[in-house]
Chains A and B, each alone.
Chain A
Amino acid sequence: MQIQKKPYYKTVGKELEVFTHCFNNQLAVLLKGPTGTGKTRFVEYMAHQLNVPLITVACHEETSATDLTGRFILKGAETRWQDGPLTTAVRNGFIIYLDEIAEARPDVIVAIHSLTDHRRYLFVDKLPEEIQAAEKFMLVASYNPGYQRGFKELKPSTRQRFVSLAFNYPDEITEREIIENETGIDPASSKRLVKLANKIRNLNELGLLETVSTRLIVDAAKLIKSGLPKRLAVEVGMVQPLTDDDETLEALKDLSNMMI
């Protein structure tokens, strides 16, 4: 939870300043942007910078308020209450990061309501108890907008409870720097990988494909770095994860064979 080693994060815009000011002013932050754009990494980096422990929860369809606040567990003839991650963060003044919050069940949104305004408390109905948030507690959530992806939207009324930071794929130069730093791959290879990724992103803009994230490029680069033949690394690391459609795969392989 306490982040020991300083994570590598390449600043892309003003996100560092914004986040710091939000922290100082006890405001909740929403990181918007497609997957693999460095949101998680950014939060880790900030937690380290601010020297506050971080708890990350990856939300999915079944994530409920109980999962976050806590539950009673049976222990012998006893029942014991166990704090969930959110309650832990609230009590101790940690940063909690709710990744993909829109995926979670609606009662999660209800549960965090009172934490996102001046009240800053968490109501745990099972105890029942109102827990005032410790000074350094901070709520950070991420959300992947764009109607092209899922079907889950975040209600405007929920969105308004957060300061929003938009994340997107970095420009070519920045992305190359990230790849090289993350994986130690040679500049020529990282240049080609990023160029290829941007061509594939063209298809994404035309709605034909899931997108290539920085994460996928990093994966491919790692495979290359560890000695896998380049084209194979790109195929398994960057191309196959995108689609199962045979013709699309073939076109993407043509493309990567041309560019790698």
Chain B
Amino acid sequence: MEWDQILFKKIAGKYKKWKNKDTEAELARTIHLEDISARLTMLARALTGKAIDLKPAEAEGGWRENVFYLPLRFNLLPTRESNLRFYLFRIVYLSIQSGQKLNWSRKGSPPGIQDSRARALAAAPRVLKIMQDEYPAIAEMHNEIKEIFTMSDIPAYWLYGKYMVSKDVFDSGDNLAPTPDIPEKHNDQPGTELQAKPVEEVEVISVDKKAQENFMLTHNFEKVETADEFSGVWRGFDGDDELEEHADALSELNLRHLVRTDEQAHSIWNAAFRNLANIAESQDAGEDTACLYYPEWDFSQRRYKPDFCKVFVKNIAASDLSYAQKCIAENQKNLQALRRKFAQIHQQRRMVKKLPDGEDIDMDAVVDWFASLRSGHTPLENIYFAKRKKDPNIAILFLLDISLSTDSYADGNRILDVEKQAVTLFGEVLEEYKVEFAIGGFYSKTRNHCVFQNLKGFNESWTLGKRKLSAVQPQGYTRIGPALRHSKTIIQQNAAKQKWVILLSDGKPNDYDKYEGRYGIADVKQALREMHENHIQTYAIAIESTARYYLPEMFGQNHYNILSHPDMLVPSLAVLYRRINNSQT
């Protein structure tokens, strides 16, 4: 049966049956947003042409900037199939609604939930009219869902969501003036009060000066955020009253999902603690270390902020070789496979034809030779070919994200370990093939403190490089732009014709002074553009599956690879190396 021809009505006839508290049946028909979010994200992006992200909502949800909020799970319709269709409907609905900018404007007092639902309901005919014209199949589906909802007394806000507060809405078309059901701000709560809000507008976040002061103690460490969570702790702002701007960043965080096991919490606390210690330490060290200044791209202004970031280049104390040795030992099979792949690639590349002497005879040349002889010309006797070692003339710089977010696990593997493993294996083989490479690690603690760790310079020994690589520990945040810009500085000093910078990370730009979301992605894109203009090629290897949403946008199709599993390491490194080699013409 075609998917949009599900006869809801038929099933709805058995309404009583499905509505009773049969938990097993309920479970069976429940759709969890999480399970279909990749599919829905893609759909929303296709429909809108914007980089939409999906976030779970407390209840019915709505839209705000580039985020669609949807119910965490849904089971109000009688079958699993129909509940899935509900989500599809919501995506189409929100695409149209956001395209029409139907939302509260940011001006005025924050509206309450009742008003927000009422306003959304009032706007529904306008959205549905467009839906009818553009997606008749979905409009038809809407009618059927609505019928069931009416029959079953399910509130309409599940269908139409609620109005949320958006920046890019200038006129909320207020015939229904909202009556704030949120308490006025108290005078002893200074600073801005803003109805921003990640998950729902039910909750008011206000800047608490005290909380800001306590900031250093209850550090809002990156790990929590990259898991799309908001710990309820305010970041230290460098300005006085930047809440408006911060709201953008906040909207990308998610207030829900704070469920963690004790054990995780414990290890995270340790991580945070370690991070704190590092801040104090590195800030001291930073005082007298020379630093480099790099600009940053402000996409909203479409201009550079000159000398905005300070990059400190640091050396790292080498540890012993045991980590690298263990990694190599554990990956013997992978390493062998990688060697074979490299050998194949080089085989193809190293064929040198038209030699006066060589390993083998080139048939094409023999025929030519024979013909020349016959036609009375003196033949060239270059009829041999050899598999010569061609000077690779390639320089590769590996840029490792060593931020705290790489301390988290994807599929049971710590991201930073997978990164180190990838570079160790790749390095082993590159060394054998005499390809020049360098390794840098980076993390940041605001724009004023971006660190670039020199793990291996182009002229430094690989053995030392391995020891330094072993010593790398996760810390700080992920300001990718300055790290890329510094990589460019380094690799430009190399004379190789083909220059490659390869980023290994979990993929998400993030730093605690607003370097995230659209801003961060735009800066990374700009930094990549700077490299391409200088004929430096780029590639990204990400270890986290959600990277699929931002890596393609930053790096472009075919210029990234997502390692969903370490088993993919060898094939993907081989693919990358083949590309590097093919580009060498």
Which residues of A come within 8 Å of B, CB atoms? Answer: 61, 66, 71-74, 78-79, 81, 105-106, 126, 147-152, 195, 199-200, 202-203, 205-210, 231, 247-248, 250-252, 254-255, 257-259
Contact = CB atoms under 8 A, between A and B. Distances in A.
Contacts of A208: 42, 45, 548, 552-553, 557
Nearest to A72: B371
Nearest to B141: A258
B43 interface: yes
A208 to B, nearest CB: 5
Contact of A210 (B375, B532, B557, B559): B557
A251 B46 contact: yes
A209 B367 contact: no
Interface string B35-67: 000111111011111010000000000000000
Which 3 A/B pairs are nearest by Cβ-Cβ distance? A207-B552, A251-B42, A79-B371
B368 A258 contact: no
A106 B39 contact: no
B187 interface: no
Given A71-B364, A72-B367, A255 B43 contact: yes
Interface of B: 2-4, 38-43, 45-49, 51, 88, 92, 134-135, 137-138, 364, 367-368, 370-371, 374-375, 532, 537, 548, 552-559, 579, 582-583, 585
B368 A203 contact: no
A99 to B, nearest CB: 18
Nearest to B552: A207
Given A126-B371, A152-B582, 7 more contacts: A148-B556, A149-B558, A202-B45, A203-B46, A255-B43, A258-B4, A258-B135
Given A150-B558, A257-B3, A202 B48 contact: yes
Contact of A81 (B371, B537, B559): B371
A149 B559 CA distance: 9
Given A203-B42, A208-B45, A258-B88, A147 B559 contact: yes
A126 B138 CA distance: 66
B135 A151 contact: no
Nearest to B556: A148
B47 A255 contact: yes
B2 A254 contact: no
A79 B370 contact: yes
A91 B295 CA distance: 56
Contacts of A61: 582
Contacts of B553: 206-208
Contacts of A259: 134-135, 137
Contacts of A206: 45, 49, 51, 552-553
Contacts of B92: 258
Contact of B579 (A72, A151, A200, A254): A151
Given A72-B371, A126-B368, A255-B46, A147 B39 contact: no
B357 to A, nearest CB: 20
B43 A251 contact: yes
B368 A251 contact: no
Given A73-B367, A147-B532, A248 B42 contact: yes
B103 to A, nearest CB: 21
Contacts of A205: 49
Given A71-B364, A257-B137, A199 B47 contact: yes
Contacts of B367: 71-74, 79
Nearest to A209: B557
Contacts of A74: 367, 370
A76 B47 CA distance: 65
Contacts of A202: 45-49
A148 B557 contact: yes
A189 to B, nearest CB: 14
20 contacts: A72-B367, A74-B367, A78-B374, A147-B532, A147-B559, A149-B557, A151-B558, A151-B579, A195-B134, A202-B47, A210-B557, A248-B42, A251-B40, A251-B43, A251-B46, A254-B43, A257-B2, A257-B4, A258-B92, A259-B137
